[in-house]
Amino acid sequence: MSIENKQLQKSVHQEELIKARLKMQGDNSHHMEIVSDHLNITWINHSIATTIDMTWFVLRDVPGPVILIIGGVDRADDHEKLNQLITEKVNTVIALGSTPWKYFESWKRCTDLFVCAKDIKEAVEFANILAKQKSGTILFSPSCPSYDPFDNYKNRGNVFRDLVKEELSKIPAQKKSPFLNKNS
């Protein structure tokens, strides 16, 4: 069997495992959950990603350009698995957790900007500031378990969702023009 066929089989198998995991858990919250789609910026909560492979699948499927929020308690996964997708889609990596230097070492040649955040709140604030400069997707896909400040990925995803809503509430609503045009 060729290398390509083996990789395809592995990929299909991993997707089936993720689908089975979602089916067992009974809901799709924290799995490609759109938290907000506002001002040409889509915020996606993929807190369920506790491995690099789970981040690979979601990164493959979301539209770019992407600001990727990643990190937590690192399990020594091979971060370079994401190199091609980081190069193709990600313009900014915001790293959290105990080993941001590992992400930097893996992707320093793959992305335009690399930022370290002290916690998830700061990561959301940084992402919001950076996203205002260009439209795209902000993807929270930690690729790590949530042993640090969170009980589990659901708690972590709920905190992310709440922080995004809080951050976006600071943005004043766009005023409608007093002038009518064909598109009004």
Q: What is the pLDDT along the chain (184 residues), one digit of tens a residue?
A: 555 555 555 555 555 555 554 554 555 666 678 888 888 889 999 988 888 888 998 898 888 899 999 987 777 677 888 889 999 999 999 998 878 878 888 888 888 899 999 999 999 999 999 988 776 899 999 888 776 678 788 888 899 999 999 998 886 654 433 444 444 4
What's this model's pTM, rounded to 2 decimal places? 0.77
Given this model, what pLDDT does residue 89 score?
A: 92
Residue 41 contacts residue 62 (beta carbons within 8 Å)? no
- Copy the structure tokens of residue 147: 């042993």
Q: Are strands 33-38 and 66-72 parallel, antiparallel or unpaired?
A: unpaired
Return left, alpha or beta for 151; rule: phi > 0 is left, psi -120 to 50 is alpha, else beta.
alpha
In this predicted structure, what is the pLDDT of residue 15? 57
pLDDT of residue 24: 45
Q: In angstroms, what is the C-alpha Rg of the chain?
A: 17
For residue 44, the cross-strand partners are: 34, 139
Q: State how far the Cα of 163 lies from the Cα of 117, in Å rounded to an integer.
A: 14
Encoded tokens for 66: 């992407």
Judge residue 112's burial from the number of C-beta atoms within 10 Å of its C-beta, 0-12 exposed, 13-18 middle, 19 or more buried.
exposed
- Dig out the tokens for 145 from the structure: 């378990």
pLDDT at 46: 92
| Residue with the two structure tokens 């506002």 | 38
On the CB side of 120, how many CA atoms lie within 13 Å of its CA?
A: 24
